[in-house]
Chains A and B, each alone.
Chain A
Amino acid sequence: MQVPGLRRLFHWRHLRTVLQIPLLIVSVAMILDGLLGPSLAPKNLATTLSWVHFRGALVLVLLSAGNFFCLACPFMLVRNVARRFFHPRLNWPQKLRNKWLSVGLFALILFCYEEFSLWSSPWWTAWLIIGYFAAVLMVDGLFKHASFCKFVCPIGQFNFVASTISPLEVKVRDLDVCDSCGTKDCIRGRRAPGPDLVVVQRGCELALFQPLKVGNMDCTFCLDCVHACPHDNIGILSRLPASELMVDPRRSGIGRFSQRKDLAALGIVFSFGALLNAFGMVSPVYALESWLAGILHVNSKAPVLGVLFALFLVVEPAVLLGLAAWLTQIWGGSRRALVPLAVRYTYGLVPLGFGMWLAHYSFHFLTGLYTVVPVAQSAAARLGWTVFGSPRWTWLGIPMRFVQPLEIGFLVLGLAGSLLVIHELAESDCAERPLRAFTPWAAVALVLWVAAIWMMFQPMDMRGTFLAG
């Protein structure tokens, strides 16, 4: 696919900065309004933009294009400015060169979202953004390359997994050109001529060597490789969404998906966490939480949430994936051991998980689409800027009757994607009896899909006080 003008735009050296500056300004406005503005979440920029608009726009851009939010990440702008003054000297520890830390942080953010009812607290939301800036500066101030993006950032991990479904990918146009390339600037960076070999354009900070890169995993769309390539041989190109989940080659900077238990764990938190996060906003969760609190004889939320998270993110995946792997072994005749089988097919659930995130976040985004207008008007009025008029609080968004079919469509799309990926994996695993390898995993996907559809039709209930209510 070639879109006139886009190639030039993506080659423009300042594109990233130009996209980052507005987001940095918005982030600062969110922090200030979160700390100093109204304490009521629907009236505050921090909560409205974070939990309604940012999340919704993020998943829709990932679905329709690619990981452009990492490209425009304001945290990296601050980090790049800081690195003009502080040069990190350490390498990220060898033992942490995996996704385990970020999987834990991803689950922790989901936990904190429920525990502290982050959606209802501008103050906590502002501190979450401040904490993010501080963490970026600390990690990338100490450690070289893009350590924060690759090994720490929970939002980045979400984007990496979701972007496996995206239709666009940063990749090589012609591999023959790479074969004849003698400098490998895409990974090493372009250096100025002379004895000092000063890097004038850095290469990939996430250790993705373009000729061997497959898919979007770990790619922040930062375009460093595009700018570094002396042959103009790297671009943002179209591809079949989720196709990278159907194959298992050795990937640059990653290795084989089937040998990465940490990546599979990330896929589990992504897919099962999507259901858990949505379950937190429907009525039955409060009945379950009250029942659990009674059994545990506790009056606080944390232990109940701890049990729920353990059930949804550990026990349920272990039972479902373990059972499916066992059936694939005995019925499908696969020679792989149970854990490698579960690791391999876990990626098949990613499209369904993404469908659930899409359904959930696009619901808030679309039904609350216009709420940013009165909230921004109100914030401007507090600063004495009356040019935007008085806040139009009646502006909400698209009616639920139009949004709900779209949600169901996303879930259907997610299920179809999962079944397709699982089928491709089963075909390459058991060429003679693919249906026998396919069926157990398709059944898991179907169970999760039915659960997701059931959730969509439950009455919504946004509470932070289940024990009192």
Chain B
Amino acid sequence: MGFEADMSHPGMTLVFGEALEVAPGQYQGSLEFAMAGDWVVLIHVTLPDGRTLGREVSVPGVTTN
């Protein structure tokens, strides 16, 4: 299971991450957003039978610390 975070503006930096299984059916991973703005996290899942599925999660208004 992998993560990818894209900015809403094309051509900007991308961030990748991997998720590890911490409990049966439960995965955990972390991503560090490289800059402020609207982000979209894409979750890429490969099932045991080889099929793939993806999900998009919007993370708007990320601000800097």
* A469 contacts the other chain (CB 8 A): yes
A365 to B37, CA, bound (A): 19
A40 to B12, CA, bound (A): 13
Chain A residues with CB under 8 A of B9: 41-42, 51, 119-120, 281, 364, 462
* B46 contacts the other chain (CB 8 A): no
Chain B residues with CB under 8 A of A394: 14, 16
The reply to whether A469 and B56 form a contact with Cβ atoms under 8 Å apart is no
* A52 contacts the other chain (CB 8 A): yes
Q: In the assembled complex, how far is the CB of residue A364 from the closest CB belonging to chain B, in whole angstroms?
A: 5
The reply to whether A463 and B60 form a contact with Cβ atoms under 8 Å apart is yes
A220 to B16, CA, bound (A): 44
The reply to whether A40 and B56 form a contact with Cβ atoms under 8 Å apart is yes
* A460 contacts the other chain (CB 8 A): yes
The reply to whether B14 and A119 form a contact with Cβ atoms under 8 Å apart is no
* A368 contacts the other chain (CB 8 A): yes
Chain A residues with CB under 8 A of B56: 40
Residue of A nearest to B58 (CB): A465
Residue of A nearest to B60 (CB): A465
The reply to whether B14 and A367 form a contact with Cβ atoms under 8 Å apart is no
Q: In the assembled complex, how far is the CB of residue A260 from the closest CB belonging to chain B, in whole angstroms?
A: 36
The reply to whether B61 and A469 form a contact with Cβ atoms under 8 Å apart is yes
Chain B residues with CB under 8 A of A365: 11
Residue of A nearest to B35 (CB): A460
A21-51: contact bitstring with B at CB < 8 Å (1 yes, 0 no)? Answer: 0000000000000000000111110011001
The reply to whether A460 and B6 form a contact with Cβ atoms under 8 Å apart is no
Q: In the assembled complex, how far is the CB of residue A209 from the closest CB belonging to chain B, in whole angstroms?
A: 42
The reply to whether A460 and B8 form a contact with Cβ atoms under 8 Å apart is no
A residues 434-469 in Cβ contact with B at 8 Å: 459-466, 468-469
The reply to whether B37 and A462 form a contact with Cβ atoms under 8 Å apart is yes
The reply to whether B38 and A463 form a contact with Cβ atoms under 8 Å apart is yes
Q: A283-B64, A393-B4, A468-B61 are in contact. Are A460 and B10 (CB under 8 A)?
A: no
* A117 contacts the other chain (CB 8 A): yes
Chain A residues with CB under 8 A of B8: 41, 117, 119-120, 462-464
Chain A residues with CB under 8 A of B10: 41-42, 44, 47-48, 51-52, 119, 368, 371, 375
A101 to B12, CA, bound (A): 34
Q: A460-B35, A461-B36, A462-B37 are in contact. Are A468 and B60 (CB under 8 A)?
A: yes
Residue of A nearest to B63 (CB): A469
The reply to whether B60 and A397 form a contact with Cβ atoms under 8 Å apart is no
Q: In the assembled complex, how far is the CB of residue A426 from the closest CB belonging to chain B, in whole angstroms?
A: 41
* A396 contacts the other chain (CB 8 A): yes
A44 to B56, CA, bound (A): 15
* B40 contacts the other chain (CB 8 A): yes
The reply to whether A460 and B37 form a contact with Cβ atoms under 8 Å apart is yes
Q: A283-B36, A460-B37, A465-B38 are in contact. Are A42 and B12 (CB under 8 A)?
A: yes
Contact of B61 among A40, A364, A465 (CB under 8 A): A465
A393 to B54, CA, bound (A): 16
B residues 3-50 in Cβ contact with A at 8 Å: 4, 6-14, 16, 35-38, 40, 42
Chain B residues with CB under 8 A of A464: 8, 38, 60
Of A42, A44, A117, A466, most B-chain CB atoms within 10 Å = A42
Q: A40-B40, A120-B38, A462-B37 are in contact. Are A364 and B60 (CB under 8 A)?
A: no
The reply to whether A459 and B6 form a contact with Cβ atoms under 8 Å apart is no
Closest 8 CB pairs of A and B: A469-B61, A368-B11, A52-B11, A462-B37, A120-B8, A461-B36, A48-B10, A462-B9
Interchain residue pairs with CB less than 8 A apart (17): A42-B9, A42-B14, A51-B10, A51-B11, A120-B9, A371-B11, A396-B11, A396-B14, A460-B36, A462-B7, A462-B8, A463-B8, A463-B60, A465-B38, A465-B60, A468-B60, A468-B61
Interface residues in chain A, defined as those with a beta carbon under 8 Å from any beta carbon in chain B: 40-44, 47-48, 51-52, 117, 119-120, 281, 283, 364-365, 367-368, 371, 375, 393-394, 396-397, 459-466, 468-469
Interface residues in chain B, defined as those with a beta carbon under 8 Å from any beta carbon in chain A: 4, 6-14, 16, 35-38, 40, 42, 56, 60-64
Known contacts A119-B8, A371-B11, then 10 further A-B pairs from the complex at CB < 8 Å, ordered by chain A residue: A42-B7, A42-B10, A48-B11, A52-B10, A119-B9, A119-B10, A367-B12, A394-B14, A461-B36, A469-B60
